[in-house]
Chain A
Amino acid sequence: MNRHLEKSLKRLLLRRLESAKGTVYFEFAIMMPFVMMVVLFAADFMRILYCEQQLEIASRALCDIQCHIEPGAAATDTKAAAKVPDAMAKAPVRKYLASVLEKELMTGDEKSVYCKAEVRPVKTLFEGIVEPIVTFLNGGKDTDSIVVKVLGKILGSVLNFLTFRTDKYFLMPLGRDLMVRASVSAYIKTFAPAWPMKFFGNKDGNVLVVPYKVKLDDSVAAFNREVQLDKRDRYYCTMPLMDTLPMAPGTYVRIIKQKLKRFL
């Protein structure tokens, strides 16, 4: 009897195993993790592509705004012009842009959008000639030599005096030939493992992919975040500074004329 039962059970099991019923579900259950991984990968992939495009647009927007910001009295004041990078660093437009992007890009964490903008001289053919002269006559900003600084200041003052400061008509427009370079970068947290994204190479892009579970260090200040990001100097939009020097420089002629007007 038991042998008969055993045989029939075996036959049943074998028949069941040989049967094709339910194989679809079984195979689907095996393939499901791979499918889910592909779906998550696709979703993350699309999100990263969207983020990259949005960050490119944001870089252009940031650049456009920054290049229209008047650098105070820097049109005639070289000391104020030197402070332009600091002023731009504190500009509220960058904080606003970062806050908008953080919500839109759903990066999953606060303070994960990093805006950067700086002002640089344009490398015209005169870079090797005009910039050193202007720097020298303003007292040698980047040199440690006291002799160079003093000599530069003296020569600059003599030139100013002899020309009644009209030498600024030559030097000022050339010295204000500046460009604004801007970039917007972001951390994107992925649901899928991060390594496939790195394989497809966002190395030169503006999106840094991190796994979902990684918590970004909130204590790091916004500008120090560059240490966490790749240190390569990448800028995604460069525009000319829209400073066309509409006002004339303060020459001695104008100063004397103004004083005479008040006096007379």
Chain B
Amino acid sequence: MTKYFDRLREERGSVGVLISLVIFTVVGSLMMTWNTAQLSKEKMRLQNAADAAALGFCIWQARGMNAIQNINDEMYLSLELSQTFQNAATVFEGFAAALEIAGNDPFLAFLKVVAIPFHLMGVLTGGISGWLATKICRFVLVPAGYFYAYASVPLGFINAQQFAAENTADPIGNVDLDFGSFGKFGLYALGISFPIIDTVMLPVERIEDDPEVAGEPWKCEENEFLKELVDNVATCTEPWHTIHSICGTGEGWEYKPWQSKKDRGDKVPEDLDPDSSHELGRTPGPVIFFVNKYCSYDKGEKSHIPQFKLDLWTGNKHYRRIAKMPMFALAAAQCIAGDIVPHSMRKDDVPINNRMAGFGVGATAKLVPIEDALKWLHPKASAVAGHLFYH
């Protein structure tokens, strides 16, 4: 017995014991460091997911704003072009009318035949261009405008889910709906915009029944005179009157441009000065997106650590629960755009494709601090967020 106690008091072999303890500690701390590094990497990817989701949403808002501005310009261009051709048609019709009047003389009856090609040119340039411009706007541009006004935000929301999933975020609540061959759908990113209405649709509206604002180009004295002339000339001969009625001369035109909504509470100048367009409407508000991820220390089925899985959709009554460590990330982004202003409300010397600043400039999206995003909600919420996230 004393031999064993004597042996214990000896120092031989102590280094081996000490070093094995040190190695155990070192390896243990390495493992902890590895875990921390893995979590840090997952957190970085999750933050990328949140940033991508927020940007993906706002990119679609920006595309919608740009598309609507371009559609406004296109409608006005079509109108201008149609009116140019109709003015040319009036000239042809004027020649034709003059020739027909002269042809009433028995000696100059041949002039009525000469008038026919001028009538044809008038119908082709005026009637068909007006008809085409009306149809194109009514069946393509107007529906396209409605599509981007109402579909940009849902498309952006769907995009956000895709970007969050691509960046390895998990469905919120770990719920993934499996529709078989249609695919799996889950809510990967939850977003809200302040003002809240911007979560549903773009802040745009059509200018309805207000020609003073819409500024139809034919509402000027010269065109009124020309229109009257066309109507009078067209009644000279019945066939041409019928053809003109069929082709139309811009009647039923639906030039109802889009503009940014004016519900910010700012006063609208009475003279509608385009230089003060920043007071006329508002841009989409910032949006905040939330994503989450359930990280685990094990490697799935190969791990020796027993795990339990909660399976909602298989109908398996033997419920199992996954032991996971959740993390989440937030990101805020905003569509940066000038106000959408109809072409007629601009200065005359502004070229169509090179827009002045503030006149529906090329919209884009960028990430913004969450503190700034919450300013739209309440100043105190912004201050709280600032303290939580940045101080």
> How many chain B residues have a CB neighbour from A under 8 Å?
60
Given A166-B140, A177-B159, A244:B41 Cβ within 8 A? no
B362 touches A163 (CB 8 A): no
A237 touches B15 (CB 8 A): no
Residue on B with the closest CB to A55?
B41
Kindly list chain A residues whose C-beta atoms are within 8 Å of the C-beta of B362: 244, 246-247
Residue on A with the closest CB to B361?
A246
A244 touches B33 (CB 8 A): no
Given A45-B34, A122-B162, A38:B26 Cβ within 8 A? yes
Partner of B162, one of A23, A49, A63, A123: A123
User: A246-264 toward B: CB 8 Å interface, digit per residue (1/0)?
Assistant: 1111010110110010000
A169 touches B163 (CB 8 A): no
A181 touches B166 (CB 8 A): yes
Q: Does B158 make an interface contact (CB < 8 A)? A: yes
B12 touches A23 (CB 8 A): yes
A20 touches B12 (CB 8 A): yes
Q: Does A158 make an interface contact (CB < 8 A)? A: no
Kindly list chain A residues whose C-beta atoms are within 8 Å of the C-beta of B30: 41-42, 45
User: A24-53 toward B: CB 8 Å interface, digit per residue (1/0)?
Assistant: 100110110011001001100110010011
Given A49-B37, A240-B56, A179:B163 Cβ within 8 A? yes
B40 touches A24 (CB 8 A): no
B74 touches A248 (CB 8 A): yes
Q: Does A212 make an interface contact (CB < 8 A)? A: no
Kindly list chain B residues whose C-beta atoms are within 8 Å of the C-beta of A163: 136, 140
B41 touches A23 (CB 8 A): no
Residue on B with the closest CB to A24?
B15
A49 touches B19 (CB 8 A): no
Bound complex: CA A34 to CA B365 (Å): 56
Q: Does B153 make an interface contact (CB < 8 A)? A: no
Q: Does B315 make an interface contact (CB < 8 A)? A: no
User: A110-145 toward B: CB 8 Å interface, digit per residue (1/0)?
Assistant: 000000000000111100000000000000000000
Kindly list chain B residues whose C-beta atoms are within 8 Å of the C-beta of A60: 44, 48
Interface members, chain B 21-62 (any A CB < 8 Å): 23, 26-27, 30, 33-34, 37, 40-41, 44-45, 48, 51-52, 55-56, 59-60, 62
Q: Does B90 make an interface contact (CB < 8 A)? A: no
Interface members, chain B 156-171 (any A CB < 8 Å): 158-159, 162-163, 166-167
Given A42-B30, A166-B74, A245-B67, A122:B23 Cβ within 8 A? no
Bound complex: CA A90 to CA B365 (Å): 26
Interface members, chain B 59-103 (any A CB < 8 Å): 59-60, 62-63, 66-67, 70-71, 73-74, 77-78, 80-81, 84
Bound complex: CA A38 to CA B26 (Å): 8
Partner of A256, one of B10, B71, B81: B81
Q: Does A170 make an interface contact (CB < 8 A)? A: yes
Residue on B with the closest CB to A251?
B74
B73 touches A248 (CB 8 A): yes
Kindly list chain A residues whose C-beta atoms are within 8 Å of the C-beta of B62: 244
Kindly list chain A residues whose C-beta atoms are within 8 Å of the C-beta of B344: none
Residues of A within 8 A of B (CB): 20, 23-24, 27-28, 30-31, 34-35, 38, 41-42, 45-46, 49, 52-53, 56-57, 60, 63, 122-125, 163-164, 166-167, 169-170, 173, 177, 179, 181, 200-201, 235-240, 242, 244-249, 251, 253-254, 256-257, 260
Closest 3 CB pairs of A and B: A246-B362, A27-B15, A248-B70
Contacts A125-B158, A169-B74 supplied; 7 other A-B pairs, CB < 8 Å: A42-B26, A52-B41, A57-B44, A177-B60, A244-B63, A251-B74, A256-B81
